[in-house]
Amino acid sequence: MRYNILFGGEAGQGPNILTHILGEALVNQGYYVFYARDYQSLIRRGHNFNVLTFSDKPINSNDGQIDILVALDENTKKIHKKDLIKKGIILDGKHENMYSAGRLFKILGLDFKILENKFKTLKRRFEENMKEAKEGYANAEKKFDLSPTSKNQNYFANGSQAVAQGAIKSGLDFYYAYPMTPATPVFIELAKQQTKNKFYTFELENEVAVINAAVGSSITGAKTMVGTSGGGFDLMTETFSLIGIANIPMVIYLAQRHGPATGAATYTGQEDLNTARHSGHGEFPKLVVAGGDPTELEELTSQAFYFSQKYKIPSIILSDKHLAESAYTSTTKAKITPSLKSTKLAKYNSKDTDKNQSATSRADMIKANVEKRLQKTIEIIKEAKKFNMYKVYGNKNSNNVIVSWGSPKGAILDAMKGITPCSSKMSDDLKKSSKGAILDATKDLDCKFVQILYIEPFPTEIKKELKGKNLILIENNATAQLGSLIAEKTGIFIENKNKILRYDGRPFLCDELKKEIVRRLG
């Protein structure tokens, strides 16, 4: 069982609250929910939509095909009707938002009480919401029976909330940022929780001030973090070099979006892997990690704090708009790596220094300083092996190996799974994709998936997972940046025809990706 509901309307019409209320209700009923947001860079009008996918089994992505279309405006119907399945349901007409919520609850066979309780927690507009929802509930027919399935204690969170949680649990003292999509949700989440948790968030005049003020705080011993996206990250990189030479702990959250430059500011991409790896001039150690779901992001955030404190280096956490702003159902609690504060106020310097911490240009001192940094890199590589630098899923002995990093994880895991029940059209489509090879669409795909979590240092031991296999690379960029990194670190090259690259600002969709993978299975 796997269904997709699309909520669309103008900005300000409220598809977000509607999506979230339904998502929460389904998670509380024991279902697995994933929803992604597609919104434009505008405040009112335009066309925004969310796709909510739910199932009785774990899922982490949307499909291109829609089962229920909730159209808050006419435009939504025009744009998305083509994606509706034959027997799909359209909920349209000029109604208040919560009218649609009532209708949906009835159609899905959800108890109205859940909605009523939700309205109570919203505090405002209770009477109006109830009236609208009751009307909607009365004017719909029950088509599904989503009664509670199990007593699963699942967590419903997006990637931004996970990063914020990871930072708080790591003992964050200060978070500095300048507003930038899609990094701002972490800022909002932290700002909301600051006083009760005794840390503080600050917005300064630009990203240059942000990273430098963060360094100022960090050298007094505070656990400090900054957050930004591509353009802001570029502005900060000068100071990463300073952090590198002066041995200062710093955690940097980089939420990627489609570029270059302003590109499409509210759309996704994985285009900054190289930017993160190569950020800052000169040679110095750093950590770059990338999570594929909220649980991983929370864990990696705590690891970023751990490495930055222990080795006094910049730690970069990579996410992207899709992961930052999509809500996932997590089944496991994140494992936090605790970190001790390591810095105290002393003399720090952007220059090479001698034993007295005074600037020097002596060749022997420069050489010694460089070698200290090289030694640190070696120690970081050694210690990183204690963590999940990569993960393996699926048939471990398969000849087909998918490699990826970050947010495509959700769609890949879902695409690898068999489809039940499977329509004959879907089965035919897949057979066509697989060039006539016999494929039972209800069975899991015969493949292994290697997900890279540590970009820097890199788990070179993945060589044993990849060598001699039919490799398929999946990335949300045009130049296969992970593919190049794998070649650099392992000497293994992935054939161009086996690179599934999406670079239109949109995330991978499970059903479409499945066809692309099947086409490349050996």
Q: From the list 6, 69, 70, 246, which residue makes contact with another protein (rule: CB under 8 A)?
A: 246
Contact between 57 and another protein per CB under 8 A: no
Among residues 421, 416, 338, the alpha carbon closest in space to that of 170 is found at 338
Nearer to another protein, 188 or 213 (CB): 213
At 308 the three-state DSSP class reads: helix
Shortest Cβ 420–another protein spacing (Å): 55
CB 377 within 8 A of CB 458: no
The interface region with another protein, picked from 30-38, 114-122, 208-216, 496-504 by CB under 8 A, is 208-216
The interface region with another protein, picked from 4-12, 104-112, 119-127, 355-363 by CB under 8 A, is 355-363
At 437 the three-state DSSP class reads: coil
Contact between 34 and another protein per CB under 8 A: no
Contact between 173 and another protein per CB under 8 A: yes
Nearer to another protein, 1 or 340 (CB): 340
**Other C-beta atoms within 10 Å of 354: how many?**
14
Q: What is the dihedral of CA 249, 250, 251, 256, to 10 degrees?
A: -140
Nearer to another protein, 350 or 420 (CB): 350
Nearer to another protein, 59 or 210 (CB): 210
Q: From the list 219, 236, 317, 500, which residue makes contact with another protein (rule: CB under 8 A)?
A: 219
Contact between 221 and another protein per CB under 8 A: yes
**What does the block give as tokens for 118?**
């939700």
The interface region with another protein, picked from 298-306, 356-364, 374-382, 510-518 by CB under 8 A, is 356-364
What is the C-alpha separation between 145 and 283, in angstroms, rounded? Answer: 60
Sign of the Cα torsion 214, 216, 219, 220 reads negative
Q: From the list 43, 261, 346, 363, which residue makes contact with another protein (rule: CB under 8 A)?
A: 346
Shortest Cβ 312–another protein spacing (Å): 13
Nearer to another protein, 17 or 235 (CB): 235
Shortest Cβ 172–another protein spacing (Å): 12
Question: In this structure, which long-range contacts are made by residues 213-218, counting pairs with CB atoms below 8 Å and at least 24 apart in sequence?
Answer: 213/176, 214/174, 214/176, 214/250, 215/239, 215/242, 215/243, 215/248, 215/250, 217/173, 217/174, 217/176, 218/248, 218/249, 218/250, 218/343
What is the C-alpha separation between 252 and 308, in angstroms, rounded? Answer: 10
Residue with tokens 């400090």: 224
Sites of contact with another protein (CB under 8 A) = 173-174, 176, 200, 202, 204-206, 208-210, 212-222, 224, 238-239, 242, 246, 345-351, 356, 358-359
